[in-house]
Amino acid sequence: MKASAPGKIILFGEHAVVYSRPALAVPVTQVHVDVEVLDSSRPGIWIHAPVIDLHAELASLPSDHPIASVILKLIQLFGISQTPDLEINISSTIPVASGLGSGAAVSVALIRSLSSFLFHPLSDDEINPLVYEIEKLHHGTPSGIDNTVITYNMPVYFIKGQPVETFKTGKPFTIVIGDTGIPALTKESVGDVRLLWLRNTTYFENIFNEIAQISLIARRSIESGKPELLGELMDQNHALLQEMTVSSPELDRLVTAAKNAGALGAKLSGGGRGGNMFALAEQATAESVANALISAGATRTIITEIS
């Protein structure tokens, strides 16, 4: 039984979204996780995930291992006492710890394929809260945006704890994603922001309010077919993320390089401190923005159209 899940990118509102402000995120289908569950002739549940060099039997993994915990949760949910012998193959083109949602994508694809294999196929509405539980195990206090955009595979305007809202693009636009190649743990940047927020609550609440405004205007610009207005909003959002201390010299270098190459705006995306940034580009300049990102040290670029 095969299933897959896309990557994602947060367009606006990361970090502020943890404090119940709105954020916008879209799936990135150029990168994905693919999972295949097969009957096995050897005893046990064997997991193969070559990208993280994992070839292990379920029982040999700690129960809080990201992949083991998904499998154990499903076995428990379905009340299975006699576990079948299985091979689970996981492959991924989403870089790990880079803000493109690799963890949530593994959970979504694994739940989809394993639940179908076990004759309990789950709907997106059932999968989403399960993935959120797994995200909590590994990220502390996630907002839930990653699991939502990846489970439903559609653009979302996300406010923590509120029903999922999607949005339409009035006119397609092109973004160029650039990877610093530096893995960064979202849990750490989210934890650091929390400490700063506790120390200086009014200051941080004001930043979050400004970001909430940006997300709101960005959504309107996208829906009304004026994506060119996003460039300025991206620059403003990036400056606020810098104030929150979650940018890094490498991210700033890529943002500047994209702008110098003609991008209309650029910002980091996700937890920050490393991982990915993206820039808004005209279709005609996207290629040169991507080249400029590589020259400035990006380890990989993805040009994607949001439509």
Binding interface with ligand PMV (CB under 6 A):
10, 14-15, 17-18, 99, 101, 142-143, 145-146, 186, 190, 270-271
Q: How near is the Cβ of 99 to ligand PMV at its closest, in Å?
A: 4
Long-range contact set of residues 49-54: C-beta below 8 Å, sequence gap at least 24? 49/89, 49/90, 49/91, 49/92, 49/106, 50/91, 51/90, 51/91, 51/92, 51/96, 52/96, 54/90
Closest of 169, 190, 201, 162 to residue 246, by C-alpha: 190
Amino acid occupying residue 182: I
Residue closer to ligand PMV by CB (options 31, 292) is: 31
Q: How near is the Cβ of 189 to ligand PMV at its closest, in Å?
A: 6
Residues 74/116, Cβ–Cβ less than 8 Å: no
Which residue of this chain has its Cβ atom nearest to ligand PMV in the complex?
Answer: 270
What is d(CA 130, CA 152) in angstroms, rounded to the nearest whole number? 13
What is d(CA 222, CA 159) in angstroms, rounded to the nearest whole number? 18
Residue closer to ligand PMV by CB (options 17, 176) is: 17
Closest of 148, 103, 100, 106 to residue 124, by C-alpha: 148
Please pick, among 125, 146, 179, 192, the residue that the annotation labels catalytic: 146
Residue closer to ligand PMV by CB (options 14, 235) is: 14
Q: How near is the Cβ of 245 to ligand PMV at its closest, in Å?
A: 12
Query: Catalytic residue at 252?
Result: no
Q: How near is the Cβ of 57 to ligand PMV at its closest, in Å?
A: 29
Residue closer to ligand PMV by CB (options 118, 150) is: 150
Q: How near is the Cβ of 155 to ligand PMV at its closest, in Å?
A: 15
Residue closer to ligand PMV by CB (options 6, 99) is: 99
Catalytic residues: 146
